[in-house]
């Protein structure tokens, strides 16, 4: 078993890291404070090919693998977790379902623009009454001639308002439960499609989180993604791959916080020596390093499985996501602890990293849901 | 336009320097990068290619590890590379490296040769200019701006306290100073394409050296700096401290 | 048999550049120690007017190559002329300042002569076997290399301010040798169209005796005025760290450091500069380093000869007043 990254991966990591440190780092604090969407940075990411990493070259993507994707989201998130999720949600939650389930026409129509970053994507699944219980979708879609009419709303949508393309789920036949849900491709500025509340969040504040509102939104029938009744499956598969992105984001946050804590501990002198000489601090750092190492291996394993398609992505992605997000929360909390009073102030980035880490245990499936998925996988074997 | 960029792989400027058992500089655990000044040269070469069309060939005298630096240049957009393996040469000095590069470059068609003005490891700032002399072409070092029209290049060169504008007909060699441009990040697409680009590896015999060229300078004796002894921290409030500092600078250090 | 130490003199509007006078002084000391003669080489129109000064700083002989084609420095013409003079005169060693000209000329000349060259030397000593040995910083000053040459002439470019300028002796006389400048047409291919010298009342950074530098602690471009006032009180140059340049607060030409200018002043005052290793690479050979920084843990204090922990916005104006009193 070769645990080393290949030359391409090493070069990609260096490029994304240099980019993140130089371009995203300096303004991260300010964007977080002002809740300012990183539009310029998103465009720069797109120019470097970060918007279409796993998409085939024939659709304008880079044709690289999931490890390349994981490394990218990790390195961006190490410096700016909000930028990391902007890329991740765009790629995994919007472009990917179109790649996996779209017709050739849909792929040709949407993927090149999404892969090149000319358009930003988002995914509308969650509703106020349908979070963990996604089957409780109340947004409806009705077929009328050669159109579908959508009514309802979505909540907590990452990249909302700024995104141009949205993959959205709606219920077509309540009596069929899950099997009545369909997925659609919606474009911004379609009449009746508006944006509601912009969420004020604890963390990833520069990531845009919006409510989507659909009032008799008419879309052409060709905008149905996959088949009627396939929507729930599309959503679940989409989330399986998306979890690799979030796991990578959590890993990046943990790595960034850990480095801050490590450097600080070596410089901060108390009781006549650097605090890194104190066993209590050493044990904290050791545990942080251990959590990150284990998380990294799970993330790469999930990415490897996603590349190979020989094992269920579902189980490995869920494992990576739950472990990495819990690790990120532990690591960032300890990082603030190690930086002490200074860590609690906005002069240092660790408090932002701690606030950013929390959401990774919640979105794209809570840690509880991840355990449901893992259990379902292990019990069916 | 046929553009050649000469690059070197160097230690990262953050690297901690230590001597090994043989008294040479140890590369244990050191991150190796493309010489930052050569990145300016690569960027300028790519801009010329974008403007005039043609091909950018990377030339590098180095061991196998130098492939990384070469691949970075290819990932940024250069088309192909030639690496001359000099890992067998003990203490190759600037003369030797220039002679080796001259032989390698002479085998290629070129209108312009670009390189960084200095390497951040040895800080010699010699090889590129020596290369131009060996090739018999004019050299303009430390450029901040380059414009080409037809076969005439106009370069702005940094001099002490100012700049001068130099006009020269191609082929010519230019060394890049910081400020010439902002090197692009290699894109994901560039990185993926780099592995399909050709890196021709040549031995000294392949480029025409009958025998190994000898260095003109002695093998260097390396030493680490003696740390400056920590000095005085001047206590007191701002007014007291500055008075004391001024006094010390005049009376003790005799610097004012 | 190669004999003689040649110093290639560099001139500017004010006369012979300081570094050349420093090299003449050091060259004189070596000549006295080894019995070699010291020769000053001056190129360009009106070279003769500098012969006396060269003599006063120790030259036994002055070679003048008065030629219009050498009036403005160009790589090709100078390489050509010096190559011919050196092959004719056969010196044991040729030294030049590691200035913009030195860095450009010396490697080309070395290649044409078929010899090695030691660049940016911060130390030079006589050596039993090799006549001269040179010490030079590598890896941004994190290590040093000592080198010698077996071929003749020995060629080296010496960092300005490595050696002190001696006291001139106006009574000294030197033999004057007028030589024709032999320049191949091939070497005239690059043409200088324009020279833009930044007009500044302040000394040029690489030659300044005193430098006051500001880093991240300056917090903005407008604050450099505080340093400028202090610099003007003692005739110093103003410098900056990379952090300040990258933040756009001051032009790149003021940057001191591994990717900026290398300086070796008598006094370097670092204000609001943390002392990253890359900055130290550019000023680590300063004779006296003063650090002013709010952060008592700043790396620069480990190297500074004198340090004040405090607010530079308070300290520097007070220091300016103290300097004014001292120089009144």
State the average pLDDT over residues C295-299: 89
Q: Superfamily for C5-188?
A: HUPs (3.40.50.620)
User: How many CB atoms within 10 Å of residue A187?
Assistant: 14
Helices and strands: H and E segment counts in chain C: 8, 18
Considering the domain boundaries, does residue B41 fall inside one?
Answer: yes
Complete DSSP assignment for C54-70: HHHTT-SEEEEE--GGG
Mean pLDDT, residues A77-97 taken together: 98
Question: Per-residue pLDDT tens for C75-98?
Answer: 999 999 999 999 999 999 999 999
Catalytic residues of A: 364
User: pLDDT by residue (tens digit) across A348-361?
Assistant: 999 999 999 999 99
Closest by Cα among C277, C267, C266 to C299: C277
* SS3 of residue B13 by DSSP: coil
C261 DSSP assignment: B
Grade residue C131 by pLDDT with cuts at 50, 70 and 90. Answer: very high
- B86 with B168, same domain: the answer is yes
Verify that B158 and B232 share a domain, yes or no.
no
Integer Cα distance of C123 and C92 in angstroms:
18
Mean pLDDT of A141-152: 97
Strand order in the sheet with C210-214: B232-233, C306-309, C288-293, C267-271, C210-214, C237-240
Percent of chain B with pLDDT over 70: 100
Residue B232 pairs in a beta bridge with C306
CB-defined contacts A:B, below 8 A = 42
Which residue is it, tokens 């085939």? A56
From B138, B216, B223, residue closest to C76, measured CB to CB: B138
* Interfacial C residues in 201-240 facing B (CB < 8 Å): 204, 206-207, 210, 234
Q: Where are the alpha helices (DSSP H) in C216-274?
A: 224-234, 242-246
Q: Which fold has domain A7-120?
A: Butyryl-Coa Dehydrogenase, subunit A; domain 1 (1.10.540)
A254: phi then psi, degrees, rounded to nearest 5: -60, -45
Mean pLDDT of chain A: 96
Chain B residue closest in CA terms to A62: B189
Name the average pLDDT for chain C: 93
Mark yes or no for CB contact C119/B234 under 8 Å: no
> What are the counts of helices (DSSP H) followed by strands (DSSP E) for chain A?
12, 10
Query: What pLDDT shows up at residue B108?
Result: 97
- Give CA–CA dist A295/A250, Å, rounded: 9
**Strand partners for B156:** B145, B165
What per-residue confidence (pLDDT) applies to A80? 98
Q: Smallest Cβ distance to B186: which of A7, A11, A72?
A: A11
For β-strands B232-233 and C15-16, DSSP reports them as unpaired
Q: Is the pLDDT of residue C249 over 80?
A: yes
Nearest CB partner across the interface for C139, out of B11, B129, B231:
B11
Rounded to an integer, what distance in angstroms lies between the CA atom of residue C109 and that of residue C94?
11
Write out the two tokens for C231: 């610099």
Nearest chain B CA: its distance from C284 CA (Å): 9
pLDDT of residue A316: 97
Inter-residue contact A165 to A114 (CB < 8 Å) = yes
Among the partner-chain residues B71, B75, B188, the one whose CB lies closest to the CB of A50 is B188
- Which segment of A289-303, B74-88, B145-159, B206-220 scores lowest on mean pLDDT? B206-220
Q: Which residues pair with A212 in a beta bridge?
A: A154, A195
CB contact under 8 A, B68 and A7: yes
Please, what's the b/e burial string for A290-304 (b: 16 or more CB within 10 A of its CB; e: otherwise)? ebbeebbebbbebbb
Residue pairs between chains B and C whose CB atoms are closer than 8 Å: 256
Which of A46, A48, A52, A112 is the best mutation test for B, with the most CBs of B within 10 A? A48
Q: C150-182: per-residue pLDDT in tens? A: 899 999 999 998 999 999 999 999 999 999 999
**Residue A380 structure tokens:** 């069916």
Residue C30's contacts (CB-CB under 8 Å, 6 or more residues apart) are: C5, C36, C38, C124, C126, C132
Q: What are φ and ψ of residue A195, in 5° steps?
A: -115, 140
Show residues of chain B in contact with A49, CB under 8 Å: 187-190
Nearest chain B Cα distance for residue A172, angstroms: 41
C-alpha of A281 from chain center: 32
Counting residues of chain C whose pLDDT is more than 90, the rounded percentage is 81
Chain A positions touching B75 (Cβ under 8 A) are: 11, 15
Among residues B114, B120, B133, the alpha carbon closest in space to that of B3 is found at B114
**What chain A residue is nearest to B185 in terms of C-alpha separation?**
A15
**What residue in B sits closest to C266 (Cα-Cα)?**
B255
In contact, C231 and C269? CB cutoff 8 Å:
no
Contact criterion met (CB < 8 Å) for A15 and B185? yes
If asked whether residues B235 and B135 sit together in one domain, one would say no
Percent share of chain A, pLDDT over 90? 94
C-alpha distance from C259 to closest chain B C-alpha (Å): 7
Region of A203 (left: φ > 0; alpha: ψ -120 to 50; beta: rest) is: beta
Does B72 touch chain A if contact means CB atoms closer than 8 Å?
yes
Compare CB distances from B233 to C116, C259, C301 and report the shortest one's residue: C301
Task: Note the pTM of the prediction, 2 decimals.
Answer: 0.90
Please list, in sequence order, all residues whose beta carbon lies within 8 angstroms of the beta carbon of residue A310, skipping any fewer than 6 positions away.
none
At B91, the pLDDT band (50, 70, 90 cuts) reads confident
Confidence tier at A72 by pLDDT (50, 70, 90):
very high
Best mutation site among B188, B193, B195, B199 for testing chain A: the one with the most A CBs within 10 Å? B188
Mean pLDDT of B42-61: 98
Residue A229 is predicted with a pLDDT of 96
Smallest Cβ–Cβ distance between B191 and the set A8, A18, A47 belongs to A8
CA distance C62 to A360: 77
Long-range contacts of A107-110 (CB under 8 A, 24+ apart): A107/A59, A108/A59, A110/A165, A110/A185
Q: Is C151 in Cβ contact with B216 (below 8 Å)?
A: yes
As beta bridge partners, residue B60 has: B7, B83
d(Cα C18, Cα C102) in Å, to the nearest integer? Answer: 13
**Using CA atoms, how far apart are residues A251 and A302, in angstroms rounded to an integer?**
13
Cite the DSSP H helix spans in B23-106: 36-52, 67-76, 94-106
| Nearest CA distance, A263 vs chain B (angstrom) | 15
C205-327: which CATH topology? Answer: Rossmann fold (3.40.50)
Nearest to C100 among B158, B227, B238 (CB): B158
Give the containing element (helix H, strand E) for A293. Answer: helix A279-308
> Are C30 and C3 a contacting pair, CB within 8 Å?
no
- Only one residue has tokens 């092959």, namely C87
The answer to whether residues B158 and B192 belong to one domain is yes
Of B193, B208, B219, B187, the C-alpha closest to B93 is B219
**Is C267 within 8 Å of B249 when comparing Cβ atoms?**
yes
Q: Do B231 and C307 touch (CB under 8 A)?
A: yes
Put simply, the answer to whether B189 touches A12 (Cβ < 8 Å) is: no
**C91 is written with which tokens?**
């010196």
Name the closest residue on chain B to residue C255, using Cα atoms.
B178
Give SS3 for B99.
Answer: helix
Separation in Å, CA of B11 to nearest CA in chain A: 15
pLDDT band at B206 (very low <50, low <70, confident <90, very high): very high
What are the residue boundaries of the structural domains of chain A, listed by start? Answer: 7-120, 122-231, 239-380
Please give the angle made by the CA atoms of C188, C193 and C198, to the nearest 5 degrees. 125
Helix (H) or strand (E) holding A220: strand A209-220
Q: By the 8 A CB rule, do A232 and A169 touch?
A: yes
Contacts of B72 in chain A (CB under 8 A): 11
Q: Is the pLDDT of residue A12 over 70?
A: yes
* Burial of residue A267, with CB atoms counted within 10 A of its CB: 0-12 exposed, 13-18 middle, 19 or more buried: exposed
Question: Is B242 found in the same domain as B168?
Answer: no
Asked if the Cβ–Cβ distance from A48 to B188 is below 8 Å, we say yes
Residue A88, CA atoms < 13 Å, CB-side half-sphere? 34
Mean pLDDT highest for which of A29-33, B225-229, B230-234? A29-33
User: How far B195 CA sits from the closest chain A CA (Å)?
Assistant: 8
The ipTM estimated for the assembled molecules is 0.93
Q: How far apart are CA C108 and CA B143, in angstroms?
A: 16
From B34, B24, B37, B91, select the one nearest B65 (Cα to Cα).
B34
In a domain? residue B219: no
The CATH number corresponding to A122-231 among 1.10.540.10, 3.40.50.1100, 2.40.110.10, 3.40.50.1400 equals: 2.40.110.10
Task: Write out the residue range of the structural domain in which residue B249 sits.
Answer: 226-256
Residue with tokens 């790595």: A255
- Are B54 and B156 in the same domain? yes
Over residues A126-152, mean pLDDT: 95
Q: Which residue of A has its CA nearest to B74?
A: A11
Does B195 share its domain with B235? Answer: no
Predicted local distance difference test score (pLDDT) of residue B225: 86
- Chain C residues lying within 8 Å of B163, measured CB to CB: 195-196
- The answer to whether B27 faces chain C, any CB pair under 8 Å, is no
First and final C-alpha spacing in chain A: 24
* Model pLDDT, residue B42: 98
Q: Identify whether residues B163 and B242 lie together within a single domain.
A: no
Segments of chain B assigned E as strands: 2-7, 9-11, 32-34, 55-61, 80-84, 112-116, 139-149, 152-159, 162-169, 172-176, 199-202, 221-223, 232-233
Cβ distance A11 to B191 less than 8 Å, yes or no, reads yes
At residue A257 the predicted structure's pLDDT band, cuts being 50, 70 and 90, is very high
B188 — contact with chain A (CB < 8 Å)?
A: yes
How many structural domains compose chain B? 2
- Per-domain residue ranges for chain C? 5-188, 205-327
DSSP class of C1:
-
C39 close to C63: Cβ distance less than 8 angstroms: yes
Is the pLDDT assigned to residue A381 strictly greater than 70?
no
Question: At residue A1, does pLDDT exceed 80?
Answer: no
Contacts of A17 in chain B (CB under 8 A): none
- In terms of CATH, what superfamily is A239-380? Butyryl-CoA Dehydrogenase, subunit A, domain 3 (1.20.140.10)
Q: Quickly count: other Cβ atoms within 10 Å of residue B173's Cβ.
A: 25
Residues A97 and A104 sit within 8 Å (Cβ to Cβ): no
Question: Which tens digit of pLDDT belongs to each residue from A306-348?
Answer: 998 777 899 999 999 999 999 999 999 999 999 999 999 998 9
Give C-chain residues touching B169 at CB under 8 angstroms.
189
Show which residues on chain A lie within 8 Å of chain B, measured between beta carbons.
7-8, 11-12, 15, 18-19, 47-50, 53, 62-64, 68, 72
List of E strands, A41-180: 121-124, 140-144, 147-158, 165-171
Residues 6+ apart with CB under 8 A from C171: none
Closest in C119, C136, C193 to B166, CB measured: C193
Give the confidence band of A82 by pLDDT, cuts at 50, 70, 90.
very high
């Amino acid at each position: 078993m070769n645990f080393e990254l290949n030359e391409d991966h090493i070069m990609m990591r260096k490029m994304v890291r240099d980019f993140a440190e130089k371009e995203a780092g300096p303004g991260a604090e300010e964007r977080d404070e002002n809740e300012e969407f990183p539009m310029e940075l998103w465009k720069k990411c797109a120019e470097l090919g970060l918007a279409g990493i796993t998409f085939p070259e024939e659709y304008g993507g880079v044709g690289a693998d999931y490890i390349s994707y994981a490394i990218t989201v990790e390195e961006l998130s190490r410096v700016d977790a909000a930028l990391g999720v902007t890329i991740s949600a765009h790629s995994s939650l919007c472009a990917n379902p179109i790649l996996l389930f779209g017709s050739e026409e849909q792929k040709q129509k949407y993927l090149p623009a999404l892969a090149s970053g000319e358009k930003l994507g988002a995914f509308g699944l969650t509703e106020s009454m349908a979070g963990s219980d996604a089957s409780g979708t109340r947004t409806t879609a009705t077929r009328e001639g050669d159109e579908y009419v959508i009514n309802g709303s979505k909540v907590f949508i990452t990249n909302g308002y700024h995104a141009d393309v949205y993959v959205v789920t709606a219920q077509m036949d309540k009596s069929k439960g899950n099997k009545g849900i369909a997925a659609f491709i919606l474009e911004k500025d379609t009449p009746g499609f508006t944006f509601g509340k912009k969420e004020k969040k604890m963390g990833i504040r520069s990531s845009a989180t919006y409510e989507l509102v659909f009032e008799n939104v008419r879309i052409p029938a060709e905008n149905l993604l996959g088949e009627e009744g396939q929507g729930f499956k599309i959503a679940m598969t989409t989330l399986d791959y998306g979890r690799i992105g979030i796991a990578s984001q959590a890993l990046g946050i943990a790595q960034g916080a850990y480095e801050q804590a490590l450097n600080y501990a070596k410089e901060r002198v108390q009781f006549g020596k650097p605090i890194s000489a104190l066993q209590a601090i050493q044990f904290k750092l050791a545990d942080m390093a251990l959590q990150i190492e284990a998380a990294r291996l799970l993330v790469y394993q999930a990415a490897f499985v996603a590349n190979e398609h020989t094992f269920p992505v579902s189980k490995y992605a869920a494992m990576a996501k739950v472990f990495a997000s819990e690790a990120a929360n532990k690591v960032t909390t300890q990082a603030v602890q190690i930086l002490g009073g200074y860590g609690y102030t906005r002069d240092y980035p660790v408090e932002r990293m701690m606030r950013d880490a929390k959401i990774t245990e919640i979105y794209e499936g809570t840690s509880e849901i991840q355990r449901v998925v893992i259990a379902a996988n292990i019990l069916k074997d | 336009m046929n553009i050649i960029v000469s690059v070197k792989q160097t230690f990262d400027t953050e690297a901690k320097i230590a001597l090994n058992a043989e008294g040479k500089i140890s590369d244990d655990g050191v991150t190796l990068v493309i010489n930052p000044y050569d990145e300016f040269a690569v960027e300028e070469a790519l801009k010329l290619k974008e403007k005039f069309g043609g091909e950018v060939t990377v030339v590098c005298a180095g061991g196998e590890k130098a492939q990384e630096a070469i691949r970075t240049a290819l990932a940024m957009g250069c088309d192909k590379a030639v690496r001359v393996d000099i890992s067998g040469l003990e203490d190759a000095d600037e003369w030797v490296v220039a002679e080796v590069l001259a032989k390698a470059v002479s085998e290629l068609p070129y209108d312009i040769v670009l390189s960084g003005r200095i390497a951040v490891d040895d800080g010699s700032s010699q090889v590129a200019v020596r290369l131009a002399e060996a090739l018999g072409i004019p050299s303009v070092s430390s450029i901040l701006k380059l414009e080409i029209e037809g076969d005439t290049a106009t370069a702005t060169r940094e001099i002490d306290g100012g700049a001068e504008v130099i006009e020269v007909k191609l082929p010519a060699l230019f060394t890049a100073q910081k400020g010439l441009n902002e090197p692009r990040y290699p894109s994901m697409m560039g990185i993926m394409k780099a592995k399909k680009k050709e890196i021709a590896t040549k031995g000294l015999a392949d480029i025409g050296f009958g025998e190994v060229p000898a260095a003109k300078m002695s093998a260097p004796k390396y030493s680490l700096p003696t740390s400056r002894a920590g000095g005085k921290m001047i206590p007191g409030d701002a007014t007291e401290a500055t008075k004391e500092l001024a006094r010390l600078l005049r009376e003790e250090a005799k610097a004012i | 048999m190669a004999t003689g130490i040649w110093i290639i003199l560099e001139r500017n509007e004010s006369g012979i550049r300081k570094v050349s006078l420093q090299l003449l002084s050091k060259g004189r000391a070596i000549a006295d120690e080894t019995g070699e003669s010291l020769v000053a080489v001056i190129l360009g129109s009106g070279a003769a007017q500098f012969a006396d000064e060269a003599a006063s700083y120790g030259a036994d002989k002055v070679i003048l190559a008065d030629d219009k084609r050498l009036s403005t420095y160009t790589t090709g013409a100078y390489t050509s002329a010096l190559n011919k003079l050196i092959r004719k005169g056969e010196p044991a060693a040729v030294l030049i300042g590691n200035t913009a000209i030195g860095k450009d000329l010396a490697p080309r000349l070395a290649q044409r002569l078929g010899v090695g060259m030691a660049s940016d030397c911060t130390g030079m000593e006589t050596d039993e076997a090799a006549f001269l040995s040179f010490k030079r910083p590598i890896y941004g000053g994190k290590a040093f290399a000592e080198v010698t040459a077996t071929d003749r002439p020995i060629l080296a470019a010496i960092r300005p301010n490595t050696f002190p300028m001696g006291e001139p002796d106006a009574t000294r006389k030197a033999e004057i040798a007028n030589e024709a400048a032999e320049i191949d047409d091939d070497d005239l291919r690059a043409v200088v169209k324009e020279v833009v010298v930044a007009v500044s009342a302040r000394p040029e950074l690489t030659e300044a005796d005193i430098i006051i530098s500001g880093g991240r602690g300056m917090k903005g471009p407008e604050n450099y005025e505080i340093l400028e006032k202090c610099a003007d009180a003692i005739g110093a140059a103003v410098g900056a760290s990379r952090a300040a340049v990258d933040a756009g607060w001051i032009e790149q030409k003021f940057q001191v450091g591994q990717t900026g200018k290398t300086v070796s002043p008598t006094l370097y005052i670092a204000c609001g500069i943390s002392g990253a290793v890359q900055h130290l690479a550019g000023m680590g050979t300063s004779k006296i380093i003063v650090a002013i920084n709010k952060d008592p843990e700043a790396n620069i204090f480990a190297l500074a000869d004198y340090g004040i922990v405090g607010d530079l916005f308070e300290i520097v104006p007070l220091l300016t007043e103290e300097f004014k009193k001292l120089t009144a």
